[in-house]
A and B are shown apart, each in its own frame.
Chain A
Amino acid sequence: MLTRRTAVGAGLAFGSVACAAGFGAYGQAPGRTREGRSIDTLFIDESFETPRQMAALVEAGGRALPVVRIRLEAADLAGLQRVLEKSQAVVGLSSGATLFCLERIAWDQGFRLTGRSQRCASGPGEACLQDLAAFLGGTHPAASPPSLARAYRPSRADGLLHAWVMRRSAGPQFRQGRRDV
């Protein structure tokens, strides 16, 4: 049985070997992308039963990085908006349905999806951890947002978990807070 200690250890050890600027660094301090922009937040889909190994990893990451659990509800989304307002780059682990919604909410804050992996689809195996580490460490190669946006199935029913990164683009932010007259 996988314990929290072994899971965290495995993640960190793996990161230090496979991702020199990745999980090793992530364990110490917030990740830093190749562009020198830090990852500000890790989003976890609350509606998804986070596998045990992933949960341990997230908990470990939380020491250095804020972890925000997301549900598709009004109270949580208000908090999400506040996090996005203060962030430049965010990493997440979610169902396709939640990613679909978050992506569109984040568009209005100027974010674009720049990396997505489905290697978490079959569970939190080594490939999944590798990709998550790469996103957190900023070593995952960025893809063009349009190709990423059109390529995934926005479902929860398929049981697939997606790891992804969104970064703030140079464009303007639509959501600048509500204005009352």
Chain B
Amino acid sequence: MKLPQNVSQADFTAALKAFAGIVGDQWVFTTDEDLELYRDSYSLMWGEADERTASAAVAPDNADQVVELVKIANQYRIPIYPISTGKNLGYGGAAPAFAGSVVFDLKRMNRIVEIDERNGYVVVEPGVSYFDLHKYIQEKGLKLWIDCAGPGWGSLLGNALDGGLGYTLATYRSHFDAQCGIEVVLPNGRMMRTGMGALPGAKTWQQFKPGFGPRIDGLFKQSNYGVVTKMGFWLMPAPENHTTGVVTIPRFRDIIPLVDAIGRLEQSKIVQGLWNLSSPTTGTSGDGGPGGGASKQKDSKILAILNDPGGVDMDKLDAAAGAAGIPFWACEFNFYGPKKLIKAQWDCVRDALKEISGAKFKLDEIRALPLSPEELAKMRDAVTLGIPTLKTFDLGPMLSYEGEDVVGHIFFSPIIPRTGEAAIEAMDVFATIARKYKLPYPPVQFPASMFERAFMYVVALPVTRSPTVNAKIREMFRELVLIAAERGWGEYRTAPAFYDLIMGTYSYNDHALLEFLETIKDAVDPNGIMSAGRYAIWPRHLRDAKG
């Protein structure tokens, strides 16, 4: 049996026995076969001495059990690591950030505590997945939509705490921003509610985010200050209709006025649905999926430029596309709501973008919702309609890298300014890295627009089962992080292997942010039991040990 660091066999045995006393023997896992499920399938340290694996796992049924388990962990100084459904693939999966931690597996806590159609909110426990909530809403016939992450098996609560994103209206896409009210078991075992939830009998816990006094909900995002056991989310009223509209723009550098114009529409709340860039010229889409897709471009002159081993000359590409009459950019907008609203929004988009010479516009048929199963089957994915799927896995990872099978991917995902100039710079910087390491990516990749005011640029790096190749990927990741930081671009989320690296780049005023986070850590978790190392926040005794 693997032991947590600095814990004696006697204490660990006693703690496991006490845990079992709370949850029952069958919900304490210590065998290799059971613990295999808590490895990160996409770990870049798979099978290496530094792979972060659990010493045991415990699965409570309710928040009261979590309180008791945390108290026991404090008594025996057992490091614990709560997970929701453990499906955070590409960003760490179910594995702990600190090797030897006992995973608190919360997927048994799968209650939909409250759902309110009138005010548009839901309160869920950590084990409720997007599939679960979608099914519940369908069964009850509620006029509500969810905003789901790409893979629908993830936890609403877990995805929000990790800073995850969705695909519908801007208000709901940033999942932590869509939350309203948290119940959390603090590291000392005390339960707390944030916002209006601190008022006993509150009638507005899920309706008024600010509460009274400091708004501390953000302290529980990407941190280790407690076990979140309930969370409220604002839900979107089910819209009457949906459609997409596509604007094509002829030249590469037209992306600059394009992004500016769309930005104004978004800031004015005229464009609220997700918009995606793709390029008829390069034949690639810009949805940030795992790399490896081949260009669908057929024009031989354009292909020759795209496949230039020295990199794509954008001026030549622009000229070739112009000669072939192929627009460089296609921008697809999603619209929701009453028909007259959709038409008005489209008119505004046309008015704003017609200033770009050569812009062309096509609004697709406005379709009444819900779509029939036949119509849904024609869609590549239904996440823009708030319907969870696992189709993102159909994209597959790239097949091989350096002669090794690719078994998954990790995401390098920096946030870059919402300007065409920054998008061009990022495309150039990351394409250079892709060429350097012979990554089989399209020659030009585009930023994603899920966040309201900034671009996210996603590079999916391959994961193999070869320690040698994985070590190379880790170095590649490190290089990407540092190159991005030099340009003022920081990652919004990462896998545990890179927590410290990335937090190290958030170093303003001699790491004042991390020092503040560590001060809070020492105050609320003096024994350092809670999710040690998560997002680079280490308890004092482990900071001292690291020097």
Residues of A within 8 A of B132 (CB): 178
Contact between B389 and A73, CB atoms less than 8 A apart: yes
Distance of A97 Cα from B398 Cα, bound (Å)? 12
Contact indicator per residue, chain A 61-74, by CB within 8 Å of chain B (1) or not (0): 00000000000111
Q: Which of A121-129, A132-140, A142-150 lies at the interface with chain B?
A: A142-150
Residues of B within 8 A of A145 (CB): 33, 36
User: Separation in Å of the B74 CB from the closest CB of chain A?
Assistant: 26
Known A74-B388, A74-B389, A154-B408; contact A179-B110, beta-carbon cutoff 8 A: yes
Q: Which of B111-119, B410-418, B527-535 lies at the interface with chain A?
A: B111-119
Q: Is B387 in the interface zone, CB < 8 Å from A?
A: yes
Q: Is A34 in the interface zone, CB < 8 Å from B?
A: no
Contact between A74 and B135, CB atoms less than 8 A apart: yes
Distance of A74 Cα from B388 Cα, bound (Å)? 6
Q: Using a CB-CB cutoff of 8 Å, which residues 79-137 of chain A contact chain B?
A: 96-98, 100-101, 104-105, 107-108, 112
Contact indicator per residue, chain A 150-181, by CB within 8 Å of chain B (1) or not (0): 10111111100000000001011011101111
- Residue on A nearest B134 in the bound complex, by CB: A74
Residues of A within 8 A of B341 (CB): none
User: Separation in Å of the B151 CB from the closest CB of chain A?
Assistant: 8
User: Separation in Å of the A68 CB from the closest CB of chain B?
Assistant: 16
| One of A78, A156, A171, A176 near B394 (C-beta < 8 A) | A156
Q: Which of B167-175, B206-214, B273-281, B399-407 lies at the interface with chain A?
A: B399-407
Q: Is A28 in the interface zone, CB < 8 Å from B?
A: no
Q: Is A47 in the interface zone, CB < 8 Å from B?
A: yes
| One of B105, B111, B373 near A180 (C-beta < 8 A) | B111
Distance of A176 Cα from B108 Cα, bound (Å)? 8
- Residue on A nearest B85 in the bound complex, by CB: A108
Q: Is B136 in the interface zone, CB < 8 Å from A?
A: yes
- Residue on A nearest B373 in the bound complex, by CB: A75
Contact between A104 and B87, CB atoms less than 8 A apart: yes
User: Separation in Å of the A52 CB from the closest CB of chain B?
Assistant: 22
Q: Is B219 in the interface zone, CB < 8 Å from A?
A: no
Distance of A149 Cα from B41 Cα, bound (Å)? 9
Interface size class of A (residues with CB under 8 A): 35 or more
Q: Is B361 in the interface zone, CB < 8 Å from A?
A: no
User: Separation in Å of the A132 CB from the closest CB of chain B?
Assistant: 23
Contact between A72 and B131, CB atoms less than 8 A apart: no
Of B59, B136, B394, B405, most A-chain CB atoms within 10 Å: B394
- Residue on A nearest B32 in the bound complex, by CB: A146
Q: Is B421 in the interface zone, CB < 8 Å from A?
A: no
Contact between B34 and A178, CB atoms less than 8 A apart: no
Contact between B108 and A153, CB atoms less than 8 A apart: no
Q: Is B382 in the interface zone, CB < 8 Å from A?
A: yes
Distance of A78 Cα from B134 Cα, bound (Å)? 11
Known A105-B153, A108-B107, A149-B36; contact A97-B389, beta-carbon cutoff 8 A: no
| One of A72, A155, A179 near B111 (C-beta < 8 A) | A179
| One of A101, A144, A152, A179 near B390 (C-beta < 8 A) | A101
Contact between B59 and A74, CB atoms less than 8 A apart: no
Contact between A78 and B135, CB atoms less than 8 A apart: yes
Contact between B34 and A73, CB atoms less than 8 A apart: no
Contact between A169 and B33, CB atoms less than 8 A apart: yes
Q: Is B443 in the interface zone, CB < 8 Å from A?
A: no
Contact between A100 and B393, CB atoms less than 8 A apart: yes
Residues of A within 8 A of B468 (CB): none
Contact between A178 and B408, CB atoms less than 8 A apart: no
Q: Is B37 in the interface zone, CB < 8 Å from A?
A: yes
User: Separation in Å of the A117 CB from the closest CB of chain B?
Assistant: 16
Q: Using a CB-CB cutoff of 8 Å, which residues 42-76 of chain A contact chain B?
A: 47, 72-75
- Residue on B nearest A146 in the bound complex, by CB: B36
- Residue on A nearest B27 in the bound complex, by CB: A172
Contact between B114 and A72, CB atoms less than 8 A apart: no
Distance of A171 Cα from B32 Cα, bound (Å)? 12
- Residue on A nearest B294 in the bound complex, by CB: A157
User: Separation in Å of the A155 CB from the closest CB of chain B?
Assistant: 4
| One of A72, A108, A150, A157 near B465 (C-beta < 8 A) | A150
Residues of A within 8 A of B33 (CB): 112, 144-146, 169, 171
Known A74-B131, A150-B46, A157-B399; contact A174-B394, beta-carbon cutoff 8 A: no
Q: Is A77 in the interface zone, CB < 8 Å from B?
A: yes
User: Separation in Å of the A101 CB from the closest CB of chain B?
Assistant: 5
Residues of A within 8 A of B134 (CB): 74
| One of A73, A112, A169, A179 near B382 (C-beta < 8 A) | A73
Distance of A127 Cα from B488 Cα, bound (Å)? 56
Contact between B382 and A153, CB atoms less than 8 A apart: no
| One of B37, B46, B389, B399 near A155 (C-beta < 8 A) | B399
Distance of A107 Cα from B36 Cα, bound (Å)? 11
Known A75-B373, A146-B32, A150-B46; contact A158-B394, beta-carbon cutoff 8 A: no
Distance of A82 Cα from B394 Cα, bound (Å)? 23
Residues of B within 8 A of A172 (CB): 26-27, 59
Residues of B within 8 A of A158 (CB): 396, 399
- Residue on B nearest A47 in the bound complex, by CB: B394
Q: Beyond A72-B389, A104-B153, A154-B407, list 6 extra A-B contacts (CB 8 Å).
A: A100-B41, A108-B107, A150-B465, A154-B397, A156-B396, A171-B34
Interface residues, chain B, with chain A CB atoms under 8 Å away? 26-27, 29, 32-34, 36-37, 41, 46, 59, 87, 105, 107-108, 110-114, 127-128, 131-132, 134-136, 152-153, 292, 373, 376, 382, 387-391, 393-399, 405-408, 465
Q: List 24 A-B contacts (CB under 8 A).
A: A72-B394, A73-B389, A73-B390, A73-B391, A74-B135, A74-B389, A75-B373, A77-B131, A77-B152, A78-B135, A100-B41, A101-B153, A101-B390, A150-B46, A152-B407, A153-B397, A153-B407, A157-B396, A171-B26, A174-B108, A180-B111, A181-B111, A181-B112, A181-B113
Interface residues, chain A, with chain B CB atoms under 8 Å away? 47, 72-75, 77-78, 96-98, 100-101, 104-105, 107-108, 112, 144-146, 149-150, 152-158, 169, 171-172, 174-176, 178-181
